[in-house]
Amino acid sequence: MQKIVIDTNVFVSSLIQRSYPYRIIYELFIEDKFQLCISPALLVEYYDVLARPKFAKYPDFIVKAEMLLVDIEIKSIKYDPQIKLDVVSDLDDNKIIELADESSADFIITGNTSDFTFQTYKKTRIVTPKEYWENHQAV
Q: Under a CB-based contact definition with an 8 Å cutoff, are residues 51 and 65 in contact?
A: yes
Record the pTM.
0.94
Q: Domain of 112?
A: 3-136
At residue 59, the pLDDT reads 87
Q: How do the pLDDT tens digits run along the chain, 139 residues long?
A: 999 999 999 999 999 998 999 999 999 998 999 999 999 999 999 999 999 999 999 989 999 999 999 999 999 999 999 989 888 878 888 999 999 999 999 999 999 888 888 899 999 999 999 999 999 876 5
The string of DSSP codes covering 9-40 is: HHHHHHHH-SSHHHHIIIIIITTTSSEEEE-H
CATH at 88: 3.40.50.1010
- Overall domain count for the chain: 1
Residue 139: per-residue pLDDT: 58
What pLDDT was estimated at residue 88?
A: 82
How many angstroms separate the CA atoms of 34 and 45, rounded?
21
Give the pLDDT score at 36.
97
